[in-house]
């Protein structure tokens, strides 16, 4: 926030400029809707949230990074529209602000933001450099053992031949309504049970396979989630390093809000990259 402003006065000024750019003539209906939204945003403590989102979207648009027009409940906000966070006029389409924010809502606001996927990391880098590496991190996800992987991994530990494990894993349905656990397959498939019973070591480790299913196998990085913290992140959550040596919270997305952190979704979309490339080639020709 520039000197001489509070967060609210700066957001209000940006909105007043933006509403003139978007609509030209300011009707009583427009003024009433904008004042109402700003009052709600302020009373719920999300003024800084809007300023942060406005800032990095402005950076993306100023640096020729394609940004999605907005989706989900945030499209119902005229504040988001006049700040050019979204490009859908909520009044024209009669969209409801309360779906996005209202005093009874207990969860954090969630503006889903789409960037072209080959430049998403540029926006994350900008946010990290602006607020400092110690205040910005991405979110861990845990890949879990599915039934097939549990069978293969534990089978290899006790030296069951890999071709046999591959053949057995074909009996385990993992898609849709027919998906089954290893235990369910063992109890319902005679062919699968016969192959297990032929291998003494496999019979011994079968209870272990049942236990391992659905447990975490390794860590990865959440495709979109970025967290920002006023305090240093390592004072709020435990941290680790991800596959590309980036800082990750050790708490997954479901636990981030419970410790007072705000998750923002920076989603990379391939179709925005394709559209951006087409537009660039079109301009050249």
Q: Could you say which DSSP state residue 108 is in?
A: P
pLDDT in tens, 62-82: 999 999 998 889 999 999 999
Quick one: average pLDDT of 147-176?
88
SS3 162: helix
Whole-angstrom distance, CA of residue 240 vs CA of residue 243: 10
CA 223 centroid distance within chain:
6
Q: Between β-strands 262-269 and 112-116, what pairing exists: parallel, antiparallel or unpaired?
A: parallel
Q: Could you say which DSSP state residue 94 is in?
A: T
pLDDT in tens, 201-226: 888 888 999 999 889 988 888 888 89
Radius of gyration of the chain from its Cα atoms, rounded to whole angstroms: 25
Q: Is the pLDDT of residue 106 over 80?
A: no
Quick one: average pLDDT of 99-125?
87
Please check whether residue 72 is in contact with residue 34, taking contact to mean a CB–CB distance below 8 angstroms.
no
Whole-angstrom distance, CA of residue 125 vs CA of residue 133: 9
pLDDT at 131: 93
Q: Could you say which DSSP state residue 180 is in?
A: -
Task: Identify the band that residue 263 occupies on the pLDDT scale cut at 50, 70 and 90.
Answer: confident
pLDDT at 243: 75
Query: Which residue(s) pair with 239 in the sheet?
Result: 249
Task: Identify the band that residue 244 occupies on the pLDDT scale cut at 50, 70 and 90.
Answer: confident
Taking Cα atoms as reference points, which of 232, 257, 246, 263 lies closest to residue 53? 263
Please check whether residue 59 is in contact with residue 52, taking contact to mean a CB–CB distance below 8 angstroms.
no
pLDDT at 253: 85
Helices 190-198 and 200-212: angle between axes, nearest 10 degrees? 120
Please check whether residue 137 is in contact with residue 227, taking contact to mean a CB–CB distance below 8 angstroms.
yes
DSSP string, 207-239: HHHHHHTTSEEEEEEEEEEEEE-SS-GGGTS-E
Q: Is the pLDDT of residue 234 over 80?
A: yes
pLDDT at 110: 79
Token pair in block for residue 179 = 């998906």
SS3 70: coil
Its pTM stands at 0.81
């Amino acid at each position: 926030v520039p000197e001489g402003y509070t967060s609210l006065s700066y957001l209000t000024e940006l909105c007043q400029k933006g509403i003139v750019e978007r609509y030209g003539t300011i009707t009583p209906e427009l003024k009433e809707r904008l004042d109402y939204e700003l009052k709600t945003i302020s009373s719920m403590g999300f003024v800084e949230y809007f300023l942060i989102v406005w800032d990095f979207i402005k950076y993306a648009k100023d640096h020729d990074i394609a940004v999605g027009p907005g989706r989900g409940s945030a499209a119902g906000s005229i504040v988001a529209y006049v700040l050019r966070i979204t490009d859908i006029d909520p009044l024209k389409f009669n969209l409801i602000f309360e779906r996005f924010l209202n005093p009874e809502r207990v969860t954090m606001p969630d503006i889903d933001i789409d960037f072209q996927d080959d430049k998403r990391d540029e926006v994350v880098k900008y946010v990290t450099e602006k607020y400092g590496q110690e205040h910005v991190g991405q979110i861990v996800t845990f890949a879990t053992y599915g039934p097939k992987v549990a069978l293969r991994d534990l089978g290899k530990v006790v030296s069951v031949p890999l071709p046999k494990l591959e053949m057995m894993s074909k009996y385990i349905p993992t898609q849709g309504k027919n998906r089954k656990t290893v235990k369910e397959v063992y109890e319902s498939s005679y062919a699968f049970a016969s192959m297990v019973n032929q291998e003494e070591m496999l019979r011994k480790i079968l209870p272990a396979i049942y236990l391992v299913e659905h447990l975490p196998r390794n860590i990865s990085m959440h495709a979109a989630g970025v967290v920002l913290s006023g305090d240093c992140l390592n004072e709020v959550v435990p941290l680790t390093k991800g596959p590309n040596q980036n800082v990750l919270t050790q708490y997954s997305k479901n636990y981030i809000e419970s410790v007072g952190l705000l998750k923002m979704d920076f989603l990379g979309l391939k179709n925005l990259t394709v559209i951006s490339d087409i537009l660039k080639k079109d301009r050249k020709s």
